[in-house]
Structure 1
Amino acid sequence: MAAEHGPWGGTTPTQFRPPQLPPAMVRFLSIGVGVVAVVGAILSSSFYVVQPTEMAGVRRLGTVITDQPVGPGLHLKMPFVDVVDHIQTSLDTFKLNGLTVYTVDNQAVTVNLGISYRIPASAVLKLLYGVGRTGNVDISENIRPVLADRVLRVFSTQNTVGISANREQIIAQITKNVSEALNGIFGLEITDLQLSGITYSTSFQASVEAAVQAKNDAIRAENTVAKVRYEGEQSKVQAAAQAAVRIAQANGEAEAAVAQARAQREAAILRAEGAAQATTLTGEAEARIIQQVGSAVASNPGVVAYETAHRWNGTMPATMLGGGSNPLTMLNLPAAPDGRTTSQHLP
C-alpha cells in the first residue's frame, strides 16, 4: 500500500509544490491579457492593404465614403465600422465556350470565344456598388449574356459558306460590338477578342465534303481533258514537224537533182560549145593552110613539081590519070572549082 501512494503516502511535501498566485494577481493578469487582445484587434482592423493588381472602395455603416477608388498600398480605416471592398483591375480574361449560334441560312454553328479586358479606375466604384450586390461583384456573370448576344447578332448576318473566308471581318465586327456594349454598360476596356473555335453541324460538314469531292472530281476531269488536249496538240506539232522535215528533205533532194541536172546540162553545153569551137578553129586552121598552100602554088608553080619529086618514093602512083581525074591528088592539093588544078600539068 505504501508503494502505491508514494513515499509520502500520497501527499506531496510543501517544498515540492508550485507557487500559488494570489487571486488578485490572477484577476489582474486576466484583465491585462484581455486588454492586449482588444487593443490588438482594434489595431489590426484599423488599416488595410490594397494589392498592386486591385483597387478598393470603403463603406461605413452601409454608406460609400470614398469618392475615388483607393489605390494600392497601406491605408487606415475606422475599426469595426468601415468595410473595404476589393476588385481586381489588372488584365483578365473571360472565355465563352460551346456557344451555339445560327447563321442567315439557318445553319447551327458552335463557337468558342475569349476576351481580354481590364477595369479602368473610372469603372471601379460603378462595378463595386452599381452592378450586382454591393461589394460582391462577379464580373464574369455580367459579361456572359452581353457577349453571347453580340456574337449571335453578328453570326445571324453571315452565310455559313462564307464564315471561313470572312473570319477576320467577323472577329472585327464582334470586337467592335462587344467593346461598345461592355464599355457602355460596365465601363470595361476590351483589349483583345479571340475566336478560338468554329464547329459546323454534321449535315453542313457532309454537304461541304460532298461539294469538295465534286469540285475535285471536276478538276480531275478538267485536268484529264487538258492532258488529252495537250497530248493531241503535241502529236499534231510532232506530225507537223516530221512533215516539215520530210518536205524539207524532199525539197532538198529535188533542188539537189535540179542543181545536178543543171550542172550536167551546163557541162554538156560547155563540152558541145568547146567541141564546136575546136571544130571551128580546126576548120579555120585547115582553111588557112589550104589557102596558104594555094597561094604558094599560085605564086610559084614549080613548088608542085618540087613537092612531087620530093615525095615520090620511086613507085608508080596508084591512081591513073583519066578523064575527070585530078593529077594533084597525090599532092593532096585541092582542085579548082572548074575541075582544074591550081597549077600547070607536069610535062
Structure 2
Amino acid sequence: MKINIRFIFFVALFLFALSVILGSFYTVDQGERVVLLRNGAVIGTAEPGLHWKWPVIDRSVHISIQSQKAAYARMPAYSKDQQPADLQLSVNFRVKPDEVADIYGTYGSVSNLISRVLDPAVQKATKEVFGQYNAVSVIQERQKFGADVYQNILSTVGKKLNIETVQVENIDFSDAYEQSIEQRMLAEVEVQKVRQNLEKEKVAADIKRTQAQADADAKLAQATADAKAIALKGDAEARAIQAKGAALRDNPALVQLIQAERWNGKLPSTMVPGESVPFVTIK
C-alpha cells in the first residue's frame, strides 16, 4: 500500500491549524480572573466570559478570587505573664480582583503570596497580640483577642487580600498551668458556695427578724387595743355610775320606784323580826 505523503502533510497541517485556532480562545469562570501574558510579560487581565488571545505568543494564567482558607496549627506564643501556649487559628481571605496582575507580577502565584506575605503576617500578629493578654484574660476575652488579631493582619496584608475572618480555634496552655487554673476555679467555686450559704443564712435571719418584729408589732397593737377598750369601758362605767349618782341625788324616790317596778307582787314567806314589809312603810 502506497502512502500518500502529500495527504498526510495536509492532514497534519489542518490539525495544527485547528489546534492553533482552538487554542486562541479561552474562558474565564465567575470565581476567577485571568492574567494575560505576552512573551512572559503581563499585558492585562480578563473578566469572566469568553476571550481570544494570540496563539503561541500569548498565555493566560487563571487566578481564583473565591474565598480561601489558611490554617495554622500549634503556633507557639507567650502571654503577657510569660505563660507558653500553642495556638490554633484559621484565616479566611479572598484575592482582590483588581490586584491579580500585581500579585502575579510580584509573587508569581497566590500560593507564593500566602507563604511570603500572609503566613509571616499571621505569625507576627498572633504573637504580638497574644503577648498583650494575660493567660486568664485571653481565655475570658477570646472573641476580643481574635478581633485584635484580625485588625493586625488586616493592617499588614489588607492591600493585597480581603481578610474576611480570623477564627481562634484553640488555645492550649501547658498541663501544669491548666491544672493550676482548674484548682483555682475549684477554689473560686468553693468560695462562691460559702458566699451563697452566707447569703442564704442572712436572708433566713432577716426573715426571722422580720417575722419576730411583725409578731411583736401585732401583740403590741393587740395590747394597745385591749388597753384602749378597757379604758373606754371604764370611762363608760364611771360615767354611768356618775349619772346614776346624780339621778339618785336629784330624785330620792327613784330607788323606791325601781324596786316597785321590779317587784313581782309576792310577799316574802318569812319575815325577820323588826323588819317591815317591802314597799310598805308603817309610821
Settle same-fold status: TM greater than 0.5.
Answer: yes
Give 1:87 shift.
1.7
Counterpart position of 2:245: 272
Q: Does 1:87 align with 2:63?
A: yes
Counterpart position of 2:30: 52
Counterpart position of 1:28: 6
Give 1:104 shift.
0.8
Q: Check the 8 A contact 1:85/1:135 in 2, yes or no.
A: no
% identical aligned pairs: 18
Pairwise mapping of residues 33-112 of structure 1 onto structure 2 (< 5 A)? 33-61=11-39, 63-66=40-43, 68-72=44-48, 73-79=50-56, 81-112=57-88
Task: Calculate the aligned-residue CA RMSD, in Å.
Answer: 3.0
Provide, for residues 166-197 of structure 1, a one-character-per-residue CA deviation record: whole Å limited to 9, x for no partner.
Answer: 3343233222221121135xx22223333344
Counterpart position of 1:123: 99
- Give the distance between the partners of 2:183 and 2:109, measured in 1 at CA: 56
Q: Does 1:212 align with 2:185?
A: yes
Instruction: Provide closer, same or farther for how the CA distance between residues 84 and 268 of structure 1 changes in structure 2, counting only shifts above 3 A.
Output: closer
- Give the distance between the partners of 1:137 and 1:229, measured in 2 at CA: 66
- Give the distance between the partners of 1:281 and 1:180, measured in 2 at CA: 118
Q: Does 1:192 align with 2:165?
A: yes
Is the partner of 2:45 in helix, strand or coil? coil
Instruction: Provide closer, same or farther for how the CA distance between residues 26 and 234 of structure 1 changes in structure 2, counting only shifts above 3 A.
Output: same
Q: Check the 8 A contact 1:97/1:113 in 2, yes or no.
A: yes
Give 1:64 shift.
0.6
Q: Supply the AA of the counterpart residue of 1:109.
A: A
Instruction: Provide closer, same or farther for how the CA distance between residues 281 and 231 of structure 1 changes in structure 2, counting only shifts above 3 A.
Output: closer
Q: Check the 8 A contact 2:53/2:59 in 1, yes or no.
A: no
Query: Which runs of 5 or more structure 1 residues have no equivalent in the other structure?
Result: 1-20, 283-331, 333-347
Counterpart position of 1:141: 115
- Give the distance between the partners of 2:233 and 2:128, measured in 1 at CA: 94
Is the partner of 2:252 in helix, strand or coil? helix
Larger radius of gyration: 1
Instruction: Report the structure, 1 or 2, having the larger strand content.
Output: 2
Q: Does 1:234 align with 2:207?
A: yes
TM superposition score normalised by structure 1: 0.63
Counterpart position of 1:263: 236
Counterpart position of 1:169: 144
Is the partner of 2:4 in helix, strand or coil? helix
Is the partner of 2:144 in helix, strand or coil? helix
- Give the distance between the partners of 2:8 and 2:110, measured in 1 at CA: 40
Provide, for residues 48-76 of structure 1, a one-character-per-residue CA deviation record: whole Å limited to 9, x for no partner.
Answer: 33333222334445x4151x223333222
- Give the distance between the partners of 1:269 and 1:197, measured in 2 at CA: 99
Q: Supply the AA of the counterpart residue of 2:51.
A: L
TM superposition score normalised by structure 2: 0.75
- Give the distance between the partners of 2:35 and 2:99, measured in 1 at CA: 12
- Give the distance between the partners of 1:162 and 1:136, measured in 2 at CA: 36
Query: Which runs of 5 or more structure 2 residues have no equivalent in the other structure?
Result: 256-282
Instruction: Provide closer, same or farther for how the CA distance between residues 279 and 113 of structure 1 changes in structure 2, counting only shifts above 3 A.
Output: same
Larger RCO (CA within 8 A; separation ≥ 6): 2
- Give the distance between the partners of 1:94 and 1:112, measured in 2 at CA: 11
Q: Check the 8 A contact 1:114/1:193 in 2, yes or no.
A: yes
Q: Check the 8 A contact 2:95/2:162 in 1, yes or no.
A: yes
Q: Supply the AA of the counterpart residue of 2:181.
A: V
Q: Supply the AA of the counterpart residue of 2:177.
A: F
Q: Supply the AA of the counterpart residue of 1:141.
A: S
Is the partner of 2:82 in helix, strand or coil? coil
Is the partner of 2:168 in helix, strand or coil? strand
Q: Check the 8 A contact 2:42/2:101 in 1, yes or no.
A: no
